[in-house]
Amino acid sequence: MSIAQPKRQLQLSFDVAASVPGSDETRDFRSSLSALVILDEGKTLLVGGDETVGAEPTIERLSLQSDGSYAAHRSLSVSDFIDLPDPSRNEGRVGEIDIEGMDEHAGYLWFTGSHCFNRKRPNPDKSVATQIEQLATIRRGKNRFVLARIPIASDATGSWLEKEHDGRHAARIKPGWIKKLRTDPHLGLFLRGLDGDDEQAVPSKDNGFDIEGLSATSRSDGTTRLLLGLRGPVLRGFAMVLELCPVSDGQDGLKLADVPGGTTFYRKHFLDLAGLGVRDLVLIGEDLWILAGPTMALDGPVALFRWRAPFADPESGDTLTRRDGDRLRRELLLPFGEGKDEGKDHAESFALLPGGTDASPNLMVVYDGPKDERLVGTTAVKADVFEIG
């Protein structure tokens, strides 16, 4: 299968980030795109990033323009809707959420942080001894452990986020749920550092635990099926998708109930993605589309897989799906940075564009660390559109 080329591109225009007192580091919105969702038949685009660009973690709102591009950028502080685990500032910025997955369901925007540890990147301007020491430093950002929903309000002009709207309330699931995974036979080894024992933690890009995709839908009983795609760990070539069942706690908050047909609050779905981890999830009709890429800091390969009707069977326990039939199939190989673009253009998220069908969707893909040819002016970037089928 050859690497696909986009049929067209869409321009996303962001405003310049406000300067942050006490910080001399320059960041922009267009270079850290990691999650997106399209609302109102394309009128509104919500984008999440994996860094704090301004003073606080934000979700970006863009509106469709007459030429088909997205602009009129508004930056929405997440702390206006939910309480962050750690609102303190370091060098003028609140710690990043590292938003890696978003989806709209039942009038809510669901979004997740990566829930991962990270190993410090060695600074090439430092001595070799210092760089080696930096490689031994593992950090845990508390705000990365956010899993939440925010009500969506809309009218004829588009959509926006509200803390409360039409009887719905913003809420987050407390991070204690992930500590319970420490007893899991597949995931427990990778979550040892959750109680502050950082030297035992397995960082995300070392095949550690790392959420990088979210999809939300309804079950037949009306409860929410929340799917979290894991970039890591990948076990013997099998990636994982976690299935959760969030419900109201009766006080405008959220808790996790046992999944239907199970005896605990989660199910594991093991998927043969040719050794790749999950980067994003999008449910199109009854099929789950999966953007997959390397678990480690590699440029590629990057592919789109289609998992056909994963929830057509009755609810039961964990599942394992191989690529030896039509149920799970690689549909597309995506371009990635190589040659002069090495280290750039990492496909991070995708969304369904209006105008396609379940069988032949049009998908918009955004990239982390975009290559130079993708940049427009000082604040805009081009996303790719792929026509499948």
May I ask the CATH architecture of the domain 8-387? 5 Propeller (2.115)
| DSSP three-state, residue 311 | coil
Task: Give the type of residue at 26.
Answer: T
Q: Tell the burial category of 376 from Cβ atoms under 10 Å away from its Cβ (0-12, 13-18, 19+).
A: middle
Nearest to 299 by CA among 276, 280, 270: 276
Write down the H helix ranges in the chain. Answer: 128-134, 176-179
Cβ-based neighbour number of residue 193 at 10 Å: 19
Using CB atoms within 10 A of its CB, is residue 373 exposed (0-12), middle (13-18) or buried (19+)?
A: exposed
Instruction: Look at residue 198 in the predicted model and tell me its pLDDT.
Output: 46
- What is the structure's pLDDT at 338? 79
Q: Which residues of the chain have pLDDT under 50?
A: 198-199
pLDDT value at residue 360? 79
Copy the structure tokens of residue 235.
């076990």
pLDDT in tens, 135-181: 988 888 899 999 999 999 999 999 999 999 999 999 999 878 998 99
> What residue ranges do the domains of the chain occupy?
8-387
